[in-house]
Amino acid sequence: MRKIDGMMHEKLKFLSVILLLVLSTTIFGQSFQNIRGRVFEKNTQTPIPSAHVWTSINGNITGSVTDSLGNFVIEKIPVGRWEVYVSSVDYEDFVAMNVLVYSGRETVMEIAMTERVFNLDELVVRPAVDKDLPLSRMATASVRMFSTEEANRYAGSWGDPARMAANFAGVSAANDSRNDIIIRGNSPLGLLYRLDGFDIPNPNHFVVRGSTGGAISMINNNQLANSDFYTGAFPAEFGNALSGVFDLKMRNGNNRKQEFLASIGFNGMEFGAEGYFSKESNASYLINARYSFLEMMVAMGLSFGSMAEDIIPKYRDLCAKVNFPLKKGNFSFITLLGANSVDSEDDINDLDKRKPGDIGEYYIETDRLLFFGANYTHRFNMNTRWENRMSYQHAVSKEEVKSITYRNLSRWKNYSDATGEGRTTWLSSVYHRINTRNFLEAGAGADLFMTRIHENSYDMAQNPTVLHEIDKNSLLLKMYGQWRHRFNDDITVTPGFYHHYYLLTSNYSIEPRIGMQWKTSSSTTLNFGTGLYSQLQPRLICFYQDKDGQLPNKSLKFTKSQQTVAGFNWKFAQSFRFKSEIYYQYLYDAPVIEDFPQESLLNFGDDNRWDYAFVNKGTGRNYGLELTLERFLTKNYYFLTTVSLYQSKYKGYDKIERNTKYNGNYALNFLGGYEWKIGKNNLLSANIKISGLGGKRFIPATFVTDSDGTRLEYDYENAYTTQYPAYFRFDLNINMKMNFNRWSLEIFAELANITNHKNVWTQYYDVNNQKEVLVYHYGFMPIGGVKAYF
């Protein structure tokens, strides 16, 4: 990955020229586009007919009324940003601020309205709604709505949802080369990814096996709708996770118009399409495919100087959704496909840098992901619906390592492995509205894991030795229930429980949870959440095979956690919000290692080996304070400031409390931007991001010389007492949206790490020279991209 970082300096110099040409272009005339969407009740998702939807343009009201299915269209809206108002009897009024309209595609909105507990004597349209309110009806604390339109403005995110989420309070990233989500000092292993209600595996390219992060996300932000991001104390509908949930939602394609997208940039070359199958039907499709940019440039004959073509990272992915509205429900199907590979054959050919006795390595890594999910929803009546989800996923990683010695230039394969896991999942849920005060949700399901591990080592004669040979199936049963009770329009409680049972070990967990939200005034809210949580161990650990062919981890229990969160939310002006949260998390039954008593699985997740015998005797605790000050985009500018102060501790087998690997102690982020309207049709924006994080921790080591020579000894007694230097980064993003009559063009240039600050990626020890070597990420790196909608 170090070499992948280095190649960023060779990217697309012509993009800056294009940007200058765009800025000097004048487009005459006014462009228009439609705003269409659907209005529904938030709890039951029942369409709301006869709702009034309108916007005000230069003092003139332009609007529409929803039909029997809750659909509306406001036609011929000038390009730009507008406020959209929605009102309906018995529902709280809704206002969407700064809705972006551009000519390349229709603006499609999904508007969820909340039923009033008490009817008002007269209808009053509020000036605005809280833009950070979650989509989930049960969420009360430690949750943030992930707005795709807002997140796209964040500098330094590269269109990656995980990197966008790293700007929120309580979240930090592992390093510049990966998008692992570290929440409140927890291992990234504790994160659950969901896509359209389906639990999904690691949705990234170039993953570390068993982890939840990687170098580049497979999920394209162009296809996402507004989603929810949880940093703890999440409601009972989510399970098998310890730190947080990224509940991603895919939007439906436009069912009235065929629209297309073409893009080229740092994340790859993309093509997308969406539209209808028939004008007589409300069914739609949405598909997006991507191919790695550097691989395409090499195929076209572009040279990267000293960079060898065979170490170019190669990846491609496809994400699609089809949606079929039915008379009494809905059917949808999604798929996510991804593949990537990277190799380093040049390492073993660069012999001039070798010393006698050095060994070079040539490795090939490939990853594949296949996911299919189908959801059938049946609506019995206006108050009750039944959702059934079935999915199949298969992820496989392969690695092959070859070595060469300097003395005789011999080359041989010395290691290969293949790790794959299939997973078939079923989940059935019932949602029922009792009345305006009470809403119930319950579900049950099962996950069938099909784990395959094959690992060999080879001697110089190419004779294999089987290290692991595993072919095991295991079943996880799960169920949950939760109740939302509204005492009035201001006070809501959400008690619930989650339960799962792992048949392989007969291990189970019953987890009560409760949340509360109290609107103490028109501008302030108190939030609270607490509960028990647990997570199944990765099958890579459960099926670790020792040298005697035994499975010492087969009977490992769940890692468990108790979490409590209290928060205060103050919207002290129309577009300003201050939010604070305090939290405490206690972890227990964490796997630790008797032969390595200073370590714990709570430190694993982004670069660790799994070949240890574990026991459930570890503990941990995380606690801290999070502050957020935010100004939503109004009057052409916005900003987001987050401060996270935290401690993350653990105890290994030796019962000594230490810092976790991820205990950086603090994370500071500032994002901001300004938007100018150029002429009648164009928008120019400049966005910045400044981040400062405490350094990642590591185990120190020293060099010891005796009669046997020089060797490296790790100081395990002082594990994770030392840190890398503090992380700092300053990014600048410039974006131009140009609107023509029938299409639009978006061009961006990103000046990443503009101060050229070298952040530490990792470190290793040079035994020959007896010194510690720090490996740094790239410095200043300009990148860019072009995107066309038509």
- 450-461 mean pLDDT: 82
Write down the pLDDT at residue 575. 87
If asked whether residues 123 and 184 sit together in one domain, one would say: no
Q: Which residue, 517, 451, 455, 446, is CA-closest to 487?
A: 517
Residue 124 sits in a domain of what CATH number? 2.60.40.1120
Domain check: are 219 and 362 in the same one?
A: yes
Domain co-membership, 94 together with 174? no
The confidence score (pLDDT) of residue 561 equals 98
pLDDT > 90 fraction of the chain, expressed in percent and rounded: 54
At 494, which CATH number?
A: 2.40.170.20
**Do residues 158 and 274 share a domain?**
yes
- 518 with 470, same domain: the answer is yes
Position 460 confidence tier, pLDDT thresholds 50, 70, 90: low
109-127 average pLDDT score: 63
For the chain, the C-alpha Rg in angstroms (whole number) is: 27
Residues 72 and 242: their CA atoms lie apart, in Å, by: 41
- The set of residues, in sequence order, having a beta carbon less than 8 Å from that of 297 and lying 6+ positions away, is none
Locate the DSSP E strands across 187-302. 191-195, 198-200, 204-205, 216-217, 224-230, 244-250, 259-265, 268-276, 284-291
Residue 16's pLDDT band, with cuts at 50, 70 and 90, is very low
Q: What is the mean pLDDT of residues 242-271?
A: 92
**What value does the mean pLDDT take over residues 307-327?**
81
CB crowding 746-776: b at 16 or more within 10 Å, else e: bbbbbbbbbeeeebbbbeeeeeeeeeeeeee
The tally of CA atoms less than 13 A away on the side-chain side of residue 625 is 4
Contacts of 368 (CB under 8 A, 6+ apart): 338, 339, 394, 395, 396, 397
pLDDT band at 120 (very low <50, low <70, confident <90, very high): very low
- Taking phi first (over 0 means left), then psi (-120 to 50 degrees means alpha), and beta for anything else, what does residue 348 get? alpha
Q: Report how far residue 675's alpha carbon sits from residue 678's, in angstroms, rounded to the nearest whole number.
A: 10
619 assigned to some structural domain: yes
pLDDT of residue 123: 40
**Listed range (14-28, 109-123, 483-497, 696-710) with the worst mean pLDDT:** 14-28
Same domain, 584 and 553: yes
56 and 183 fall within a common domain: no
- What pLDDT score does 604 carry? 92
Which tokens go with 133? 């309110």
> What's residue 310's pLDDT?
47
pLDDT at 125: 42
In a domain, 144, yes or no: no
Question: Residue 542 CA to chain centroid, in angstroms?
Answer: 26
Mean pLDDT of the chain: 86
Lowest mean pLDDT among 357-366, 691-700, 736-745: 357-366
* Averaged pLDDT for residues 212-219: 89
pLDDT, average across residues 589-595 = 96
Q: Kindly indicate the confidence band of residue 205, based on its pLDDT and cuts at 50, 70 and 90.
A: very high
User: What is the pLDDT, as a whole number, of residue 18?
Assistant: 42
Strand partners, 767: none
Residue 4: predicted pLDDT: 40
Last residue of a domain, one of 129, 162, 177: 129
Mean pLDDT of 698-719: 85
Q: Does residue 231 fall inside a structural domain? A: yes
Domain assignment present for residue 704? The answer is yes
* Residue 542 within any structural domain of the chain: yes
Judged against a pLDDT cut of 80, whether residue 458 lies above it is answered with no
- pLDDT band of 57, cuts 50, 70, 90: confident
Give the model's pLDDT for residue 129: 47
Q: Is the pLDDT of residue 302 over 80?
A: no
Token code pair at residue 335: 């798929």
CA distance 94 to 40: 12
Q: How confident is the model at residue 133 (pLDDT cuts 50, 70, 90)?
A: confident
Decide if 348 contacts 361 (C-beta within 8 A): yes
Q: How far is CA 412 from CA 398, 454, 468, 482, 483, in A?
A: 18, 19, 20, 58, 61
Q: Above 80 in pLDDT, residue 127?
A: no
Q: What is the mean pLDDT of residues 152-156?
A: 84
Mean pLDDT of 285-312: 71
For the chain, the domain total comes to 2
Of the ranges 48-52, 173-177, 660-664, the best mean pLDDT one: 660-664
Q: What is the mean pLDDT of residues 729-745?
A: 92
Kindly report which listed range (330-334, 543-547, 703-707) carries the lowest average pLDDT score. Answer: 703-707
What integer pLDDT is reported at residue 92 of this predicted model? 85
Provide the domain limits for residue 736: 2-15+152-789
Residue 329 lies in a domain: yes
- pLDDT-derived band at 12, boundaries 50, 70, 90: very low
Confidence of residue 345 (pLDDT cuts 50, 70, 90): low
Identify the residue with better confidence: 191 or 348.
191
What would the mean pLDDT of 523-527 be, rounded to a whole number?
Answer: 95
Residues 308 and 204 in one domain: yes
In a domain, 422, yes or no: yes
**SS3 state at 128:** coil
Average pLDDT over residues 169-178: 86
Question: Do 79 and 180 have their domain in common?
Answer: no
Instruction: State the residue for tokens 């009034």.
Output: 52
Place of tokens 């170098």: 215
Q: At residue 150, does pLDDT exceed 60?
A: yes
For 625-654, the pLDDT digits (tens) are 999 999 998 889 999 999 999 999 999 999
The pLDDT, as a whole number, for residue 679 is: 86
Q: Evaluate if residue 24 carries a pLDDT over 60.
A: no
What's the pLDDT band for 692 if we cut at 50, 70, 90? very high
Whether residues 699 and 617 fall in one domain: yes
Are 379 and 236 within one domain? yes
> CA-CA-CA-CA torsion for 346, 348, 352, 358, nearest 10 degrees?
150
Strand 709-714 relative to strand 701-706: parallel, antiparallel, unpaired? antiparallel
135 within some domain: no
Cα torsion 694, 698, 704, 709: sign: negative
* pLDDT band at residue 362 using 50, 70 and 90 as cut-offs: low
Same-domain status, 119 and 247: no
Tell me the C-alpha distance between 678 and 497, whole Å. Answer: 53
The predicted-structure confidence for 368-419, as pLDDT tens digits, reads as follows: 999 999 999 999 998 999 999 999 999 999 888 776 554 444 555 677 888 8
pLDDT at 357 over 80: no
Weakest-pLDDT range from 44-58, 200-214, 460-474, 667-681: 460-474
pLDDT of residue 343: 76
- In the DSSP assignment, the letter for residue 151 is H
